[in-house]
């Protein structure tokens, strides 16, 4: 059985030229980001912070535990890289997402300076990923001064032995104080991130995690199936690999409890109260444009996508030299882009047109309970979400 898995922090893309700069339409707020009232089209900015205190056993992202001596020069490079993109006419950002890695490991005033250098619209969603142990009122005040209005807290589990199995180092008891800090500074929204399927995690453990998370009354929850990525410590330990049926059962638990709590599933692995959907992730899922800054960050523009060099040292060196930070890229042909768009869209709450399935396939998927009709659309059922990849193979 196919179960929902965690997406990459970003998709992939390639460098582009913008004819004219929009920097003249921005107003520089002394204690906040560069802001305008609106933008013609959604546009996202992703900022990668590759530093971690420890590496989780399942993590395949570009992160390092032994590069903290590079923090200052890396943040300097980010500001330089962003400034060059702005001067070249980077569109105004409607969403900004700072991920990693562990962004909360770097000085908040320095990270705030990076965020403030990004021209954004007045209603921009600006998110930062946070480790529960690092979240304090003071840290969030620094973030708020920079315009941050959303944080994503990496809870993963509320059971100590499961966190240990995952290689997580934070104390689950600090989640409560982190959420309290978020509310004390008045951030309008936040996400709690959880993972299911770790070795030794029972159904009771998972239900405890979900119920504990819901006690915080979160406006948004992401629940991802643990996946095995090549090259990670987890990949070489077959006895710790997740079981598909176990993960399917746990998905049904989380969906049932989220729905009962008033959080609606709007993407296979994401639930939110109305108005609290993650706009940045929706931008990815809708194939809209975004630019990534930092090592290994990914970008997309008009069907072209590219990704930066992987290591922080190489990224810093290239920025200092005034050279392109791109490592590789690709251009999608029309058919491939259309099909990828459908594969993403079918995972969303709005679903897709019935016409993207052959009549006999559509009938089979409806009769099999994987799809249901919703006015002039078809959307995945809960069972269909568990089989989303298989449903996607029927798209035409």
Mind listing the pLDDT tens digit for each residue in 310-337?
Answer: 999 999 999 999 999 999 999 999 999 9
Same domain, 248 and 352: no
Residue 394 reports pLDDT greater than 90: yes
Give the model's pLDDT for residue 82: 99
Lowest mean pLDDT among 12-21, 236-245, 366-375: 12-21
Q: Angle at which helices 137-145 and 174-184 pack, to 10 degrees?
A: 40
340 and 192 assigned to the same domain:
no
Q: Are residues 231 and 351 in the same domain?
A: no
Contact 260, 272 (CB under 8 A): no
In this structure, the chain runs to a length of: 396
Residues 276 and 359 in one domain: no
Strands 220-225 and 189-196: parallel
Query: Residues 101, 65: contact at Cβ < 8 Å?
Result: no
Alpha-carbon gap, residue 144 to 276, rounded angstroms: 18
pLDDT of residue 169: 83
pLDDT value at residue 167: 85
Please check whether residues 270 and 384 belong to one and the same domain: no
224 shares its domain with 373: no
Judge whether 13 lies within some domain.
Answer: no
Domain that holds residue 117: 23-285
- Of the residues 285, 304, 320, the one at which a domain ends: 285
Q: How many CB atoms lie within 10 A of CB 216?
A: 19
144 occurs within a structural domain: yes
**Rounded CA gap, 91 and 42, in Å?**
9
Mean pLDDT of 100-125: 98
Considering the domain architecture, whether residues 97 and 36 belong to the same structural domain is answered as yes
The average confidence (pLDDT) of the chain is 91
249 and 396 both lie in a single domain: no
- Please check whether residue 232 is in contact with residue 63, taking contact to mean a CB–CB distance below 8 angstroms: no
What pLDDT score does 33 carry?
55
Q: Convert the pLDDT of each residue in 184-225 to its tens digit.
A: 999 999 999 999 999 999 999 999 999 999 999 999 999 999
Most confident segment among 9-18, 235-244, 321-330: 321-330
- CA–CA distances in Å: residue 55 to residues 59, 100, 162: 7, 11, 16
**pLDDT given at position 40:** 77
Nearest CA-CA partner of 150 in 281, 302, 12: 281
Q: pLDDT tens for residues 124-165?
A: 999 999 999 999 999 999 999 999 999 999 999 999 999 999
What pLDDT was estimated at residue 32? Answer: 52
Q: Which residue has the higher pLDDT, 35 or 340?
A: 340
> Quick check: is 383 in a domain?
yes
- Residue 125 included in any domain: yes
Q: Are 379 and 232 in the same domain?
A: no
Are residues 119 and 260 both part of a single domain? Answer: yes
Residue of 393 and 24 predicted with greater confidence: 393
| Residue 15 domain-assigned (yes or no) | no
328-341: b or e for each residue (b if 16 or more CB lie within 10 Å)?
ebeebeeeebebeb
Percent of the chain with pLDDT over 70: 90
What CATH number does residue 59 fall under?
3.80.30.20
Asked whether the predicted pLDDT for residue 16 surpasses 50, the reply is no
What is the CB-side half-sphere exposure of residue 70 using CA atoms within 13 A?
A: 21
180 Cβ neighbours under 8 A, 6+ residues apart: none
Structurally, the chain folds into a number of domains equal to: 2
Q: What is the pLDDT of residue 38?
A: 53
Q: Tell me, what's the pLDDT at 138?
A: 98
Strand partners, 192: 153, 221
pLDDT digits (tens, 9 = 90+) for 23-80: 223 333 334 555 554 567 999 999 999 999 998 888 989 999 999 999 999 999 999 9
Residue 257 lies in a domain: yes
Residue 231, CA atoms < 13 Å, CB-side half-sphere: 5
Say if 150 falls within a structural domain: yes
The pLDDT value recorded for residue 35 is 54
Shared domain for 246 and 340, answered yes or no, is no
Q: In the prediction, which pLDDT does 39 show?
A: 65
CA distance 232 to 216: 32
Higher pLDDT, 23 or 99: 99
- DSSP three-state, residue 372: strand
Residue 304, phi then psi, degrees to nearest 5:
-105, 140
Asked if 178 contacts 153 with a C-beta cutoff of 8 angstroms, the reply is: yes
Instruction: Kindly tell me the sign of the dihedral angle through the C-alpha atoms of 322, 325, 330, 334.
Output: negative
**pLDDT for res 57:** 85
Q: Is 367 helix (H, G, I), strand (E, B) or coil?
A: helix
- Encoded tokens for 136: 């304090």
Do 55 and 180 lie in a common domain? yes
Asked if residue 18 belongs to a domain, the reply is no
């Amino acid at each position: 059985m196919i179960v929902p898995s965690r997406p990459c922090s970003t998709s992939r893309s390639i460098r582009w030229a913008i004819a004219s700069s929009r920097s003249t339409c921005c107003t520089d707020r002394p204690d906040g980001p560069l802001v305008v009232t609106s933008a013609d089209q959604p546009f996202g900015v992703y900022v990668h912070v590759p530093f971690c205190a420890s590496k989780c056993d399942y993590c395949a992202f570009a992160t390092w535990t032994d590069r903290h001596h590079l923090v200052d020069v890396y943040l300097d490079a980010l500001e330089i890289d962003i400034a060059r993109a702005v001067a070249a006419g980077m569109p105004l950002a409607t969403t900004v997402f700072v991920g990693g890695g562990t962004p909360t490991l770097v000085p908040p005033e320095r990270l705030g300076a990076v965020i403030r250098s990004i021209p954004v619209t007045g209603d921009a969603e600006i998110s930062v990923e946070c480790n529960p142990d690092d979240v304090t009122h003071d840290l969030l005040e620094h973030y708020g001064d920079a315009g941050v209005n959303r944080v994503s807290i990496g809870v993963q589990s509320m059971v100590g032995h499961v966190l240990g199995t995952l290689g997580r180092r934070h104390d689950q008891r600090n989640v409560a104080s982190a959420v309290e800090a978020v509310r004390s500074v008045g951030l309008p929204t936040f996400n709690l991130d959880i993972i299911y399927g770790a070795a030794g995690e029972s159904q009771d453990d998972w239900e405890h995690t979900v119920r504990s998370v819901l006690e915080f009354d979160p406006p948004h929850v992401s629940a991802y199936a643990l996946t095995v990525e090549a090259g990670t410590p987890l990949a070489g330990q077959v006895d710790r690999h997740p079981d598909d049926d176990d993960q399917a059962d746990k998905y049904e638990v989380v969906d049932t409890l989220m729905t009962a709590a008033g959080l609606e599933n709007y993407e296979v692995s994401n639930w939110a109260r109305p108005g609290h959907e993650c706009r940045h992730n929706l931008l990815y899922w809708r194939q809209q444009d975004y630019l990534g800054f930092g090592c290994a960050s990914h970008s997309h523009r008009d069907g072209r996508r590219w990704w930066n060099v992987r290591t922080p040292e190489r990224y810093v060196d290239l920025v200092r030299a005034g050279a392109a930070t791109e490592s590789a890229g690709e251009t999608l042909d029309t058919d491939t882009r259309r099909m990828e768009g459908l594969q993403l869209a079918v995972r969303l709450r709005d679903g897709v047109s019935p016409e993207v399935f052959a009549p006999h396939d559509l009938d089979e998927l409806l009769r099999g309970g994987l799809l249901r009709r919703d006015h002039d659309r078809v959307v995945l059922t809960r069972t269909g979400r568990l089989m989303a990849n298989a449903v996607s193979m029927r798209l035409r």
